[in-house]
Chains A and B, each alone.
Chain A
Amino acid sequence: MHLSHLQRLEAESIHIFREVVAEVEKPVMLYSIGKDSSVMLHLAKKAFYPAPPPFPLLHVDTTWKFRDMYAMRTQMAAEMGMELLVHVNPEAQAAGINPFDHGSAVHTNVWKTQGLIQALDKFRFDAAFGGARRDEEKSRAKERVFSFRSAQHRWDPKNQRPELWRLYNTRKHLGESIRVFPLSNWTELDVWQYIYQENIPIVPLYFTKIRPVVVREGGLIMVDDERMPLKPGEIPMQKKVRFRTLGCYPLTAAIESEATTLSEIIQEMQLTTTSERQGRMIDNDSSGSMEKKKQEGYF
């Protein structure tokens, strides 16, 4: 009779999707190809079935994603029958911004934060679904499900609307937009259990395979293409690795793992002693770094 925790979370997410579509003019889903995006896509399909989700997907591309991710992107858009918009920041492209020469902070700001803002302005979306979860990081724990952005796309953590019961106030002024997080109350483990339960397709990079890696700043970085600069005489190691989280490949550290199936991943998750974001080189700058990035317009 009682719903399981995954059923409760699923129902809550579906409710959030429907509320946005019912009240907002031009929503979009940010699709980052990772596991959270896969779960979001699956939930969106459930929310509107038998209709297809009534909004397009937007990928803010940095051109530095893993090759496997690009393959997945093409495949998913075709399967879902949804429009996929890809935005590549032309300024970043012209300037040849990359993590090696410009550092992770500049790379992320220009490609992702500025790229996202450009895309939202260009298409005039007034609400964007994102896959962020409150368990990811401390400042996320206080993020609202419906998070308002000024016309300049800035987030004001001191001025957030209270969210009570299942009631979401979606009213906004012209030019303002909302970032909506249907997975707010999901944890990393919930996401994996749900992927397992629902048999949701994910990028193969989450499963262990022998991959070529080098050590950078203490993390195992996969040599995914020829743009990865190697030190003189350096030969990538062949290691059994997988990824807990996916982003730009030069900024995403792999973990050594034996997990080749979903149930092995879940088992590994339950024994792990490090958090998911440890693999994200961009978060370690300082304790408040995510909060700062978010105020500037980062997801």
Chain B
Amino acid sequence: MSLLRFITCGSVDDGKSTLIGRLLYESKMIFEDQLAALERDSKKVGTRGNEIDYALLLDGLQAEREQGITIDVAYRFFSTDRRKFIVADTPGHEQYTRNMVTGASTADLAIILIDARKGVLVQTRRHSYLVSLLGIRRVVLAINKLDLVGYAPEVFARIEADYRAFAAQIGLPDIVCIPISAVHGDNIIEPRGNTPWYQGPMLMEHLETVPVDDDLQAQPFRMPVQWVNRPNLDFRGFAGTIVSGSLHQGDLIKTQSGHESRVLRIVTADGDLQKANVNQAITITLADEIDISRGDLLVASDSKIAIADQFEAMIVWMSAEPMLRGRSYLMKIGYKTINVTVSPLKYKVNINTLEHLAADKLELNEIGACELELDQAIAFEPYTVNRDLGGFILIDRMTNDTIGAGQLIFALRRSQNVHWQEVDVNRHVRAKNKNQKPCVIWFTGLSGAGKSTIANLVEKKLHLQGKHTYLLDGDNIRHGLNKDLGFTAEDRVENVRRVAEVAALMADAGLIVLVSFISPFRSERRMARSLLPKDEFIEVFIDVPLNIAEARDPKGLYKKARNGELKNFTGIDSPYERPEAAEVVIIDTDTLEEAAERIIKVSQHTENLHGKAQSSSKH
């Protein structure tokens, strides 16, 4: 039996408590004595006349029951034959944003409730934004109170369309819309006959079968050391919870300071394990004596660790005392507690309209982006890659209260002590799906050298092998993305910069990208290279002398340039800086076929290229 944690988002009026009460009731989690107390309370303070007010079941603290609101995060539990569920039940009003963020921090899925009579409201947008901010990928849009609109399919269809349009804007990928009536039980467990036009899953069925995220399992092994176990001189174990990947006995691991060792044992009270998976709490021993203490990160030896001390971060403020720039707080991230100073606040987010607003402080329940300076460098991953390695809380030194929560977005480049090596595991997952090694093959050379012709043939051959490719051609890009650019040195730099960024994005998406651009300047090619991991940038220099290119002149451009009709033409009145260490050099005596084959071979075996690919020293 697996475990699904989810959060319900909605306001009192959306029927959130009724829905949870209904789920508990339908899964037989409400006992007779509780039902008796509920009936008693419903008559006393209920809002549904003599009917059972499920909401009363949930509002645990007496103050809440008297005021009829849910102030805090409450956790509910129910299970079916297939799954155990933990529900974070949080209030929906804007002034309880911090509670919702707390509940969402551990959720795998969110149910966003909409009142069918009202459609997508400001609060729906707010809840959805928070869900997306906290990195919850799976969303159920429960369009509730359908009984009150006569179970009209067009109401459901309109709300679904509205919502999907909005969700696309904020990047919520996986949405299932279900028409329900929590009060009457429509489409919770079974259809009940009121919505014959609805063919999708029942709510409970969906919750029982939605895949529990296994993205983390596919990532490289990572475990922050929580506690060093030294019961005697003969045993030195490192205890922690695996936050991504898996670990086998005998695996090579390394620490953030670069020390390597082999895993001798994975120790548990039930005997040693051969293998441990993500989310398991384990104790390991190592073959070598390495200095490791609480808070250090252990990773698979063949993976990279990013270490930095300055970050851009998103912060949710949870204290009545505002967050101010220049102020210093304690930051707990993983098992480390360190000093952090808030440098400029970049903006705060209007969580209803998603607008970015200028700000110099964050008030209670506000969300904003700022720069953080830590007093020591830490090993980290962006929050979007790993919640445990990129999520943190801020603590007030005087009161010891938790006053904010945040996410590391990226390390700032000026960050000192940066051994910044991009670790973006998602790209590998995506590439794995495509069964290929993504890369950028960057063709550079004079106009007329044959870049486009060769690139075209390379792409055709890769395509025949079933690879997913895309060719970015200089001329074509200048018709669209870069049509605002001319041929001055500044515009050429910008031209290459944009293309390089686009190529890096495409490679990140798992594609093999071919870029055919004159790209005359070394610094821009170096910049393009710096956007990609070491083995994923293949510079192909089509080394054709100027006189041969000019003799070919397929587009008649050299002629125009010589006649002064074209200014800043590379090779004529604008320089071409030859690559110093291209991975592949094609010369004019190579046949087309030979050239294409060589490029493909090199691009698929880049691990052997380290020696040659040293030209850029960006890491």
Q: Which residues of A contact B (CB under 8 A)?
A: 1-12, 14-15, 18-19, 21-22, 45-52, 134-135, 138-142, 157-158, 160-167, 169, 171-173, 184-185, 187, 189-190, 272-275, 278, 287-288, 291
Contact = CB atoms under 8 A, between A and B. Distances in A.
Given A18-B227, A189-B79, A142 B60 contact: yes
B72 A142 contact: yes
A203 B226 CA distance: 33
Contact of A142 (B1, B61, B241, B277): B61
Interface string B249-277: 00000000000000000011110000001
A110 B241 CA distance: 41
Contacts of B393: 162, 164, 167, 169
B400 A169 contact: yes
Given A142-B72, A161-B401, A18 B226 contact: yes
B102 A162 contact: yes
B26 interface: no
Contact of A185 (B37, B77, B226, B335): B77
Contacts of B231: 50-52
B277 A3 contact: yes
Give me the 10 closest cross-chain CB pairs, A-B, nearest first. Answer: A51-B231, A138-B60, A49-B269, A5-B3, A14-B281, A164-B105, A171-B400, A288-B62, A275-B31, A5-B84
15 contacts: A5-B2, A11-B279, A12-B281, A50-B229, A134-B74, A162-B318, A164-B405, A165-B105, A165-B106, A166-B241, A169-B395, A171-B400, A185-B77, A187-B79, A272-B31
A68 to B, nearest CB: 26
A184 B86 CA distance: 11
Contacts of B58: 138, 141
B226 A19 contact: yes
The residue among B98, B277, B388, B400 with the most chain A CB atoms within 10 A of its own CB is: B400
Contact of B74 (A15, A141, A158, A164): A141
Contact of B241 (A4, A11, A157, A187): A11
B515 to A, nearest CB: 39
B41 interface: yes
A82 to B, nearest CB: 14
B227 A22 contact: yes
Given A15-B241, A162-B102, A21 B61 contact: no
Contacts of A22: 226-227, 294, 335
B63 interface: yes
Interface string B1-18: 111000000000000000
Instruction: Summarize B's interface: helix, strand, loop or mixed.
Output: mixed
Contacts of A167: 332-333, 391-393
Contacts of A275: 31, 33-34
A122 to B, nearest CB: 25
A13 to B, nearest CB: 8
B214 interface: yes
Interface of B: 1-3, 31-34, 37, 41, 57-63, 65, 71-77, 79, 83-84, 86, 98-99, 101-102, 105-106, 212, 214, 217, 226-227, 229-231, 235, 237, 239, 241, 267-270, 277, 279-281, 283, 294, 318, 330, 332-333, 335, 337, 387-388, 391-393, 395, 400-402, 405
A6 to B, nearest CB: 8
Nearest to B330: A171
A288 B270 CA distance: 42
Contact of A171 (B84, B335, B391, B395): B395
Given A49-B269, A141-B74, A275-B34, A7 B280 contact: yes
B267 A165 contact: no
Contact of B402 (A4, A10, A162): A162
Nearest to A54: B231
A176 to B, nearest CB: 8
Contacts of A157: 61, 63, 72
Contact of B1 (A4, A12, A173, A185): A4
A185 B5 CA distance: 11
